């Protein structure tokens, strides 16, 4: 058996990275694509490796010569690489294809070695390696029957995305027998090239053969192995996060992306904190039915969006501002406080760090609860800050990551204290809707975004992330409410007039129709939290901290948070490592509450880890 690599292309979409290199010489975490592929093939006792070169061919050959590959390498030159596509490159190698069974691959791939091992060990003679189609994939796809027979072969430009659940993407890795190439593939390839020209793709020939009754070629489905096709710089970035040099680096790379995990379709995100039961199916249908309009038309300006937010939260338009996520509002309001060079910030730690990270550390006064659950009361806060000079106090309620919650009646006491001390008060209640509090009926809505509460103190600023509680982080929504009309006007002037998009605007506009669905979603997540807490508490190496939010902080006993996070990520589950953030010498993780099926999968993995 021989290996064959097509490496003649120019890789234009990689732009500056292929100005002086071939595409396959681009490095992923310090190792070029061609080196990785050759190292894998070099272990398989192949008779030779045939490489079709073109663009920067001499440079590529000289580079490969430095790699000390033991398997003999033969080169074929495609002199008109800039005028042809891969059908011509493969046609140049047809004599080699007819002499031995061949493992064929394109040079812009990165993949686990096991894919090649499984392909070689499969008794079937002619195979196209495929994977279940995902949103990041591009190019030709197949539809298969239960016996891996190819029912249809669909070029990328003809994909029907509404039917993507039936598709399998070709990896552009194949196994061909010499008899198949000699008697079927090469005759078809020659005829197709003569008829259609040299600027075509060899996959089109595979499609023709797959449709024959002989069914000489079948699909080889991979079973969870990692691979990636690198066509552009974004592909390269993702490949570097997947194919790291160590497991620890793999976790660090994933964590440093701060989202965008839809690019990793197999990943279960237990790190970021989103309501898994909302929006409802009906609301999603309404959003989808307006997709084209929302995509192609401008959103309204700030004034109209403030009116929508005013209606949604039941307060006057002059007292609320909507943001491109709570993060946009946090940035603007904190920068306003920073204009006073002497101002000092008070906060409870550990907590959500977006606020404090914008302050100079020398201007931050921290209260650290001295108990194993990081719990605290309003009396603790007042007692600590009463005799300390601060200008601004920030409270996340429920807090993140501990889930500590101060009930509404005690928040009222804190507001009254702040007013008496002339301390500006920011209350971030992004997770308050998840609270299961017995005093709810007595006090009504636990939120501080209402006229009665806001009227208590002009320097009270209430921030809420709609993205988290309503389960729509992708459309980026948050609000800030206050009776400080000058601050509200300042924020509105400081953000772009179109600071939220049409999808966000439409969501806020229709959310009132789905209040009952939202309430049902909150009831479900509270139930899921209780169940997840009880099951996590049975795991001997975890001590679970009580929480009123949609996440649970756990102390890790006898293990390290790092080894648990890495072990879970190897199983496609991503959780938050808190150890460095807490910094008290102990080990901590944070786990989001997801739906029952996802929670069950997480628990099964955690039970089996050690």
Token output for 256: 């440093």
pLDDT for 444: 47
Which of 557, 500, 89 has its CA nearest to residue 312? Answer: 500
How far is CA 96 from each of CA 187, 419, 601, rounded to the nearest angstrom?
14, 84, 48
Residue ranges of domains in the chain, CATH in brackets: 2-238 (3.90.550.10), 246-277+517-608 (3.90.1150.10), 300-500 (3.40.640.10)
β-strand pairing of 49-53 with 2-7: parallel
With a CB cutoff of 8 Å and minimum separation 6, the contacts of 221 are 130, 131, 132, 144, 148, 168
Report pLDDT digits (tens) over 461-501.
Answer: 999 999 889 999 999 999 999 999 999 999 999 999 999 99
Largest interatomic CA distance in the chain:
91
pLDDT for 438: 62
Question: How many other C-beta atoms lie within 10 A of the C-beta of residue 177?
Answer: 21
pLDDT for 135: 80
Which of 393, 435, 413, 606 has its CA nearest to residue 529? Answer: 435
pLDDT for 12: 86
Q: Are 3 and 46 in contact (CB under 8 A)?
A: yes
* Beta-ladder partners of 76: 52
How far is CA 252 from each of CA 31, 240, 263, 569, 585, rounded to the nearest angstrom?
19, 11, 16, 11, 20
Token output for 187: 């005759």
Task: Give the 3-state secondary structure of 421-489.
Answer: HCCEEEEECCCHHHCCCCCHHHHCCCCCCCHHHHCCCCCEEEEEEHHHHCCCHHHCCEEEECCCHHHHH
Q: Are 451 and 423 in contact (CB under 8 A)?
A: no
Burial (0-12, 13-18, 19+ Cβ within 10 Å), 539: middle
Q: How far apart are CA 191 and CA 197, in angstroms?
A: 10
- Give pLDDT < 50 ranges for the chain: 439-444
- The chain-wide mean pLDDT, for the chain, equals 93
Which of 481, 478, 482 has its CA nearest to residue 464? Answer: 478
Look at the block and give the residue holding tokens 């953000």.
495
Q: How far apart are CA 500 and CA 431, in angstroms?
A: 21
CA dihedral for 212, 217, 218, 222, sign (positive or negative): negative
CA dihedral for 447, 450, 455, 460, sign (positive or negative): positive
Question: How many other C-beta atoms lie within 10 A of the C-beta of residue 223?
Answer: 8
Token output for 10: 């120019």
How many helices (DSSP H) and strands (DSSP E) are in the chain? 25, 26
Report pLDDT digits (tens) over 384-395.
Answer: 999 999 999 999
Return phi, psi of residue 367, to 5°.
Answer: -105, 120
Q: Return the half-sphere exposure (C-beta side, CA atoms, 13 A cut-off) of residue 542.
A: 25
Burial (0-12, 13-18, 19+ Cβ within 10 Å), 127: buried
Question: Cis ω on the peptide bond leading into residue 497 (within 30° of 0)?
Answer: no
Q: Are 395 and 366 in contact (CB under 8 A)?
A: no
| DSSP assignments along 309-350, one per residue | HHHHHTS-GGGEEEESSHHHHHHHHHHHHHTSTT--EEEESS
With a CB cutoff of 8 Å and minimum separation 6, the contacts of 287 are 279, 294, 503, 506, 507
Mark residue 56 as left, alpha or beta (left: phi above 0; alpha: psi -120 to 50; beta: remaining): left
Q: How far apart are CA 430 and CA 326, in angstroms?
A: 9
pLDDT for 180: 93
Return phi, psi of residue 574, to 5°.
Answer: -115, 120
Question: How many other C-beta atoms lie within 10 A of the C-beta of residue 137?
Answer: 21
pLDDT for 160: 87
Calculate the CA 552 to chain-centre distance.
21
Burial (0-12, 13-18, 19+ Cβ within 10 Å), 13: middle
Grouping H, G, I as helix, E, B as strand and the rest as coil, residue 244 is coil
* Beta-ladder partners of 50: 4, 74
pLDDT for 442: 40
């Amino acid at each position: 058996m021989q290996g064959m690599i097509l490496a003649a292309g120019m890789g234009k979409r990689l732009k500056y990275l292929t100005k002086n290199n071939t595409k396959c010489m681009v490095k992923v975490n310090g190792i070029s694509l061609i080196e990785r592929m050759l190292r894998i093939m070099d272990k398989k006792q192949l008779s030779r490796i045939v490489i079709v070169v073109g663009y920067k061919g001499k440079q590529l050959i000289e580079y490969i010569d430095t790699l000390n590959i033991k398997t003999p390498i033969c080169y074929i030159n495609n002199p008109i690489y800039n005028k042809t596509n891969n059908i011509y490159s493969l046609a140049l190698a047809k004599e080699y294809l007819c002499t031995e069974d061949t493992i064929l691959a394109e040079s812009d791939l990165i993949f686990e070695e096991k894919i090649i091992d499984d392909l070689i060990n499969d008794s079937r003679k002619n195979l196209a390696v495929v994977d279940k189609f995902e949103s990041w994939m591009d190019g030709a796809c197949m539809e298969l029957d239960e016996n891996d027979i190819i029912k249809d072969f669909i070029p990328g430009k003809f994909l029907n995305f509404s039917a993507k659940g039936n598709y399998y993407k070709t990896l552009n890795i194949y196994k061909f027998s010499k008899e198949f190439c000699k008697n079927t593939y090469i005759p078809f390839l020659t005829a197709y090239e003569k008829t259609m020209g040299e600027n075509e793709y060899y996959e089109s020939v595979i499609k023709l053969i797959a449709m024959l009754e002989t069914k000489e070629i079948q699909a080889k489905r991979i079973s969870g192995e990692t691979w990636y096709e690198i066509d552009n710089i974004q592909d390269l970035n993702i490949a570097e996060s997947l194919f790291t040099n160590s497991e620890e680096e793999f976790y660090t790379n994933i964590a440093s992306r701060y989202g965008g995990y839809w690019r990793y379709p197999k990943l279960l995100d237990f790190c970021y904190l989103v309501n898994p039961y909302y929006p409802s199916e009906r609301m999603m249908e309404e959003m989808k039915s307006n997709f084209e309009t929302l995509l192609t038309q401008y959103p309204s300006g700030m004034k109209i969006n403030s009116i929508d937010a005013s209606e949604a939260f039941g307060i006057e338009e002059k007292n609320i501002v909507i943001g491109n996520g709570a993060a946009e509002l946090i940035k603007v309001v904190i920068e306003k406080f920073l204009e006073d060079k002497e101002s000092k910030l008070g906060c409870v730690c550990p907590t959500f760090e977006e606020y404090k990270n914008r302050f100079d550390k020398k201007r931050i006064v921290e209260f650290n609860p001295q108990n194993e659950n990081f719990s605290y009361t309003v009396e603790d806060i007042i007692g600590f800050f009463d005799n300390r000079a601060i200008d601004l106090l920030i409270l996340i309620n429920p807090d993140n990551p501990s889930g500590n919650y101060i009930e509404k009646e005690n928040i009222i006491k804190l507001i009254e204290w702040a007013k008496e001390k002339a301390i500006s008060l920011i209350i971030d209640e992004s997770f308050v809707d998840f609270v299961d509090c017995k005093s709810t009926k007595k006090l009504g809505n636990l939120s501080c975004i209402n006229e009665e509460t806001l009227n208590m103190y002009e320097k009270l600023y209430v921030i809420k992330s709609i993205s988290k509680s309503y389960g729509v982080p992708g459309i980026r929504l948050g609000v800030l409410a206050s009776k400080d009309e000058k601050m509200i006007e300042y924020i509105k002037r400081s953000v772009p007039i179109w600071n939220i998009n049409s999808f966000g605007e439409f969501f806020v506009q229709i959310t009132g129709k789905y209040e009952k669905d939202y309430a049902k979603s909150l009831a479900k997540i509270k139930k899921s939290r209780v169940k997840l807490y009880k099951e996590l508490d049975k795991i001997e190496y975890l001590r679970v901290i009580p929480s009123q939010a949609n996440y649970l902080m756990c102390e890790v006993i006898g293990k390290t948070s790092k080894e648990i996070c890495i072990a879970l990520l190897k199983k496609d589950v991503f959780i938050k490592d808190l150890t460095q953030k807490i910094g008290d010498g102990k080990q901590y993780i944070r786990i989001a509450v997801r739906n029952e099926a996802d929670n069950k999968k997480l628990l099964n993995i955690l039970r089996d880890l050690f």
